Amino acid sequence: MISVLVVEDEEITAEAHRVYVDRVPGFQVAGVVRSGGEALRFLRRQHVDLVLLDLYLPDMHGLEVCRAIRAAGVLCDVIVITSARDLSMVRSAVSVGVAQYVLKPFTFAALNEKLRQYAKFRSTVDAPGEASGQGEVDDMLAALRGPARSHLPKGLTRPTLEAVVAELRGASDGLSATAVATSVGVSRVTARRYLEHLTESGVTRRLPQYGGIGRPELVYQLI
């Protein structure tokens, strides 16, 4: 079994990641922590094979955690799970040894593929002996960082999903499906499909909005 430490400060998101990992055959969650300091203390006490690491933690940046892990000589791999899309951040993550960089929002299918790629990589590099040549080394790295695929439910598109997320980022109190539909230029039913997908992926949460007569309207807020 490949043991995994989940490092995520948002409780709902951390639980979603824990559930996702436990659903993948061959993986088990060894622990869930909410800060960089907790992660480093955990790794000093207990070995894990893989760390799922958010970058925006309350006490330190995730890349600082990576550097501290390497400086301490802790042997584990890191997959970053973050909403940070800055290409310089991706480059910095690679420079400190991050194995994969997963952007929020994502589905279980997307994380499942990443973890299976990692498991295939581990099964190859953990085998005894030497590489037969450059081709075998290339195959190992290709197993870890295979081609990207789209795992959106049928009928949803990546550009529209990103537009919905962009609208939510600008609304700290959340938005209703009606508001998102108006801003993005889709129907309310379509907007709700995207919002429900984000909620099921652990990226947003539903909140009741009171103020009118009758049932409260649901708003969706980024976690």
pLDDT tens sequence across 146-163: 655 556 788 999 889 989
Q: Domain spanning 2-145 has what CATH number?
A: 3.40.50.2300
pLDDT category at 213 given cuts 50, 70, 90 is low
Residue of 139, 66, 151 whose CA lies nearest to 100: 66
Our CA dihedral for 10, 12, 14, 19, rounded to 10 degrees, sits at: -170
From residue 2, alpha-carbon distances to 65, 82, 136 in Å are: 21, 22, 23
Residue of 108, 100, 95, 89 whose CA lies nearest to 148: 100
Q: Domain spanning 158-222 has what CATH number?
A: 1.10.10.10
Q: Would strands 217-222 and 175-176 be described as parallel, antiparallel, or unpaired? A: antiparallel
Distance, CA of 194 to CA of 15 (rounded, Å): 21
Distance, CA of 115 to CA of 118 (rounded, Å): 5
| Mean of per-residue pLDDT scores for the chain | 89
The pLDDT tens digits of the residues spanning 21-31 come to 999 999 999 99
pLDDT category at 113 given cuts 50, 70, 90 is confident
Give the residue extent of every domain in the chain: 2-145, 158-222
pLDDT for residue 71 is more than 90? yes
The side-by-side arrangement of strands in the sheet containing 50-53 is 27-33, 2-7, 50-53, 77-82, 100-103
Give residue 133's pLDDT. Answer: 82
Give residue 150's pLDDT. Answer: 54
Q: Are the C-beta atoms of 205 and 220 separated by less than 8 Å? A: yes
Give residue 176's pLDDT. Answer: 94
pLDDT category at 214 given cuts 50, 70, 90 is low
pLDDT category at 18 given cuts 50, 70, 90 is very high
The helix (H) or strand (E) run that includes residue 38 is helix 36-45
Distance, CA of 101 to CA of 94 (rounded, Å): 9
Model pTM score: 0.70
